[in-house]
Structure 1
Amino acid sequence: MNNFKAVLFDLDGTLIDSEYFYYSNWAPILSEDYGLSITFDDWISNFAGHTLARNVVMLNEQYKLKVDEEDMWFATRSRYAKADMRTIRLMPHAQEILELVKSKGLTTGLVTSSYKTTVDTVLGEHKLLDYFSFFVTRESVEQPKPNPEPYLLATQKLAIPSEEILVVEDTSTGCTAAKAAGLYCVAVSKQEVERERLSHADKLASSLKEVESLLF
């Protein structure tokens, strides 16, 4: 695996430990406004790794709710602001792997379904923005993951052969996008429900430390 010249990282659940943050802000809205109670396992199984728009569709179709996308956008953004996204922690070994990739001279990009404001807030708080040569965020594309568009755009920015690009993801959604773009994908997850859905990844790791050993 030492022939890679670039590494593309996902953000949520891969570099930052954000899934419980999102769950703790969505759960009260669903409970108070729609009478739906969800557990963290429900969040990981049905919501994690997806866009707000997709989750609204899923809530309406699978849970038979009447959720308006714009209302949910404002409700979640209001809670995020009060909860302070700057408190979101890094995943274990996140900074170490970014430093290692940089020290080896590999180009580093971020490909996420989050908005640039989230990237700037969280990675800015941890002083990690300068590790990345570019960012592909939600507003960069028309079709987010699992559509391959975000990774195809990143490939265009890199202007190197696809076989020289490694993707690090944590969900089936992100892995599907990477593979559809023709890229090699290492999936990192400790969540059993997610690991069971990651059979299409080229490699499956339990931590970023394990990804380091695969890379170098």
Structure 2
Amino acid sequence: MTISSIKAVLFDLDGTLIDSEFFYYSNWAPILKEEFGLNITFNDWIKDFAGHTLSANVQMLKERFDIHTDDEFMWQRTRANYAKADMTTIRLMPFVKETLHTLHAKGIRTALVTSSYMSTVNTVLGHHNLLDDFEFFVTREAVQYPKPDPEPYLLATERLALPSNSIMAVEDTLTGFRAATGAGLRCVAVTKHQAEKERLSQAEFLVEDLSQFLDIIV
């Protein structure tokens, strides 16, 4: 792959651009303990929850732990915790600004494809002054079927109006990887978590941080 063959990069948000998984874990774990008596570790979060939508996690709780709750309850409880915890404390992942700067300097278009809502994007990326670094955002409210369904990436590809072989996706979970490759895109998997590395062993490119991603396409 050469730099001339890639015209656009589609980034995932959580765990890829922002270091949000511990934030989500620290807000979900007390709810699961207080409401359902379920204790989870951060490793459990990465293994079972990370990269999935709220609805998928609610379904997983039912199937794996026989915990019967619903999307509305968990939405209200988690959003209340997020508000108290202040999402502006979420840090960027390493090399995010350097990566975006390099891509822009090379004339490569960038957009965001995430299962998070636009309110989260505005809060976190707005805090880091990165909203203008993306041509557009495909967020949860923009699609009927979120990742791992390919719909978010198909929508992004349509908006870019580029051939799929000139677009690279960047994801940190198997859920996102399946969505990107299901849409016919090549995908760089970026993660340091061993559990996720094992799930992503089939990825064509598997790196630990965004500096290594730049080494691949530049």
Q: TM-score range by the shorter chain?
A: over 0.9
Separation in structure 2 between the aligned mates of residue 207 and residue 12 of structure 1, nearest angstrom? 14
Please say which of residues 146-155 and 61-70 is displaced more in the overlay: 61-70
Tell me whether 1:40 sits opposite 2:75 in the alignment. Answer: no
Q: After TM superposition, list the pairs within 5 Å mapping 1:97-108 onto structure 2.
A: 97-108=99-110
Deviation digits for residues 56-112 of structure 1 (CA, Å, limit 9, x no counterpart): 000011100111210110000000000000000000001110111111111101000
Equivalent in the alignment of 1:193: 195
Q: How many residues align?
A: 216
Give percent identity, aligned residues only: 62
What is the identity, as a one-letter code, of the residue corresponding to 2:79? R
Deviation digits for residues 20-60 of structure 1 (CA, Å, limit 9, x no counterpart): 00000000000001100000000000000000000000001
Equivalent in the alignment of 1:183: 185
Separation in structure 2 between the aligned mates of residue 146 and residue 202 of structure 1, nearest angstrom? 18
What is the identity, as a one-letter code, of the residue corresponding to 2:167? I
In the alignment, which of 66, 74, 77 is matched to residue 75 of structure 1?
77
1:171 is displaced (CA, Å) by 0.3
In the alignment, which of 58, 66, 69 is matched to residue 68 of structure 2?
66
In the alignment, which of 143, 146, 153 is matched to residue 144 of structure 1?
146
Could you tell me which runs of 5 or more consecutive residues in structure 1 were left unpaired when the two chains were aligned: none
Separation in structure 2 between the aligned mates of residue 160 and residue 111 of structure 1, nearest angstrom? 16
1:215 is displaced (CA, Å) by 1.2
What is the identity, as a one-letter code, of the residue corresponding to 1:204? L
Instruction: Verify the 8 A CA contact 1:176 1:200 in the aligned structure 2.
Output: no
Instruction: Verify the 8 A CA contact 1:114 1:137 in the aligned structure 2.
Output: yes
Equivalent in the alignment of 1:205: 207
Equivalent in the alignment of 1:53: 55
Equivalent in the alignment of 2:155: 153
Separation in structure 1 between the aligned mates of residue 72 and residue 165 of structure 2, nearest angstrom? 39
Q: After TM superposition, list the pairs within 5 Å mapping 1:108-147 onto structure 2.
A: 108-147=110-149
What is the identity, as a one-letter code, of the residue corresponding to 2:103? V
What is the identity, as a one-letter code, of the residue corresponding to 1:68? D
What is the identity, as a one-letter code, of the residue corresponding to 2:38? L
SS of residue paired to 2:67: coil
SS of residue paired to 1:173: helix
Separation in structure 2 between the aligned mates of residue 10 and residue 4 of structure 1, nearest angstrom? 17
1:200 is displaced (CA, Å) by 3.0
In the alignment, which of 17, 20, 23 is matched to residue 21 of structure 1?
23
Separation in structure 2 between the aligned mates of residue 117 and residue 32 of structure 1, nearest angstrom? 27
Equivalent in the alignment of 1:171: 173
What is the identity, as a one-letter code, of the residue corresponding to 1:165? I
